[in-house]
Amino acid sequence: MKSTKSILLVLEKLKKEFPNRGAMEIGNPYQNLVAVMLSARTRDEQVLKLFPSFLKNFPTVQKLAKSTPNQIDRRIKTIGMDRQKAKNLQKMADEVVNKFHGQIPNTMEDLTFLTGVGRKTASVILVTSFFKPAIAVDTHVHRVTNRLGWVNATTPEKTEKALLEIIPETLQPVVNRVFVKFGRYICIPGKPRCWGCPIQKYCAYKNKNLIKPKNSAKILDTWSQQSSATR
């Protein structure tokens, strides 16, 4: 387990590498929640492509609540798990309207009450929409923080619990934003690109891949472009 000072150094360095907000930080709490729910097991680019049309048809949570799953499904056909997501979105909206008076709730307990909203989604919304401390642990955050030696956990849920204990609240919102990109382009599954890692000296991973491939320049250029883009 790393010290708070080491964690601070890593997060501050990665904040400079990945300064922009996440791709699903689109607007108000309703818009952010819908976007994150749509993005499950789906590329961000696919969600962003259909989202303007989705909002045109369902501009408010009240409008979404009055719709049917079939009406919603027709607007999200291009993404994975569209039918289940349509059902979840309609039920979520109905719950927001009837239980929370049309306002997206701002606590972990209330957010996870909503259909289709787990702790990861709730954590994203708490950070992006309500500026509250939370850590959304997806496969990237789970993989990277375990490789770094910050935690030693077997599941994302256990990783979240461990990270919440060691990362100060002021830094918690940074974790998902930087490690999602970092995990996609540098600390990738399988054979990580340690040869190009800006935080290599802070990492406890024993099987570091330090040999640069022939296309390393192209990889770093792609990473640089993504660093200046959203999520």
Number of domains, the chain:
2
Residue 231 confidence (pLDDT): 41
**Domain of residue 208, residue span:** 4-19+135-227
The pTM is what? Answer: 0.89
Render each residue's pLDDT in the chain as its tens digit; 231 residues. Answer: 567 888 999 999 999 988 877 776 788 999 999 999 999 888 888 999 999 999 999 999 999 999 999 999 999 999 989 999 999 999 999 999 999 999 999 999 999 999 999 999 999 999 999 999 999 999 999 999 999 999 999 999 999 999 999 999 999 999 999 999 999 999 999 999 999 999 999 999 999 999 999 888 888 777 776 665 544
Q: 167 and 80 in one domain? A: no
CA dihedral 132, 135, 140, 145 (to 10 degrees): 130
Q: 118 and 43 in one domain? A: yes
Q: How far apart are CA 175 and CA 90, in angstroms?
A: 30
In a domain, residue 13? The reply is: yes
Residue 215 confidence (pLDDT): 87
Residue 41, Ramachandran bin (φ over 0: left; ψ between -120 and 50: alpha; else beta): left
Q: How far apart are CA 202 and CA 207, in angstroms?
A: 14
pLDDT tens per residue, range 139-176: 999 999 999 999 999 999 999 999 999 999 999 999 99
CA dihedral 17, 140, 110, 126 (to 10 degrees): 0
Q: 168 and 139 in one domain? A: yes
**How many CB atoms neighbour CB 151 within 10 A?**
20
Residues 125/104, Cβ–Cβ less than 8 Å: yes
